[in-house]
Structure 1
């Protein structure tokens, strides 16, 4: 079942950038990635999906309902986001930031504290729950924002280069956690990656963007090729198979 569909989407920043997506979709429980050069429109798509930017034309459909027909509270339950960066002017604690993911679910008899602690234990953020968010390292902030998104328990998880500032150990742990959310809880994931190899390892399908358009889409085995990598990123490379996952991996010719 298609949980998200994008049809004939058009968006522009004056004359400097134009985004045109004829059709794009995500199935329920699917892990989908977007890769492409800087300025190709990857983050813009996520902004349009969360109404941070307003489209010029086209449709964004979630669960067969146009995104324009959702209230903010309803949309908060459908989509959660881990942005590249998150800033706050106030000295909120880590627990304050993460707890805000439960706002749409708050009731007099809710047991959100148990949910919040359980997710924070899984992401290893519970140990520094009382620290001030603004004083964390970049990698710690990203872990906090991922935890907040998981606490939100939305149907679709949007990730904008969410492991770009995290060390290799936590990168593996957190991506595996997101993959488990997709498989075990039937959550849909749309993730932007700069790292082609990470996208290939964990994705069911990949969209490759260039110049505001989808140039290629499909399973990693079909579209992570030497020819396409040269066309999209202008790199000389060799494609090898991962010894365990049997997914294509890019080896650069230095």
Structure 2
């Protein structure tokens, strides 16, 4: 089942075509990761899903209705987006930032209701940011800052979260902090999460559903165990890599060892490189 989907979606910046006739169904209650090389259309698709970018043709559907024809506030009550590298005014406190998430629900002069305050406190608690609520956002660490922005998205009270590279520019510990939080939100609250991810091992570890894009087209889609193969990595990212089970989680682990050579010179390598993934898929099927 899918509340959020696209039908023959075409996206462009001016005369430059980015996405062509995209048909995508986002699984409800799961974490979906969009992966692909730079310029593959990942962030562009996310912007269209968030109603930030209008389609040239086709459309994005939310609960069966064209999202670009719905009022902005109504859409904001159903899905929230965390853009890449968000910024806030200097001196703005964490609680003030999180309160902005209640804007779609406010009426009149925008005074916070008891329900607004309840949602703000809940979002702060869910992200572990209660103790930082009075601190200026620009004085937080990278991981704390991302958690504050996620809290603002949660305060909207939506069932769908869109995140554009939520771990960009974070060190390894803060990356795990943010990804673990998203995993917890999905597991405990069944939030549908769609995120653009650059780190393939993060994508395969934390997502239930992978969408591999190249030139605005979906080349592979499905569970990480099916999508994350040596062949996919060569076709989508132009890299040669081994894919092995993570010794702790069992998720596919990408181990790049070189750039892929020209297609005509590597037909044997393509066949040989896929053998490891095929063996892994056989193991997955056997376990199932």
Aligned to 2:274: none
| 1:126-141 alignment runs, 5 A limit | 126-141=130-145
Spell out, residue by residue over 1:79-127, the C-alpha distance to the aligned partner (whole angstroms, 9 max, x if none). Answer: 1111111124454222111111122234775333233223223323222
1:232 to 229, 236, 242: 236
Aligned to 2:59: 59
Check the 8 A contact 1:139/1:165 in 2, yes or no.
no
| Partner SS state of residue 46, structure 1 | helix
Question: CA–CA distance in 2 between the matches of 1:112 and 1:164?
Answer: 30
Deviates more, 1:31-40 or 1:95-104: 95-104
State the 4+ residue runs in structure 1 displaced beyond 6 angstroms.
none
Deviates more, 1:99-108 or 1:33-42: 99-108
Deviation at 1:140, TM superposition (A): 3.2
Question: Structure 1: which 5+ residue stretches go unaligned?
Answer: none
| Partner SS state of residue 236, structure 1 | strand
Work out the number of aligned pairs and report it: 254
Check the 8 A contact 1:224/1:248 in 2, yes or no.
yes
Q: Provide closer, same or farther for how the CA distance between residues 170 and 123 of structure 1 changes in structure 2, counting only shifts above 3 A.
A: farther
Deviation at 1:28, TM superposition (A): 1.8
Deviation at 1:148, TM superposition (A): 0.9
Aligned to 1:45: 45
Deviation at 1:194, TM superposition (A): 0.2
C-alpha RMSD over aligned residues? 2.1
Check the 8 A contact 1:146/1:162 in 2, yes or no.
no
Aligned to 1:82: 82
Check the 8 A contact 1:226/1:239 in 2, yes or no.
yes
Aligned to 2:185: 181
Q: Which has the higher contact order (CA 8 A, sep 6+)?
A: 1
Question: CA–CA distance in 2 between the matches of 1:152 and 1:105?
Answer: 8
Question: CA–CA distance in 1 between the matches of 2:76 and 2:86?
Answer: 17
Aligned to 1:162: 166
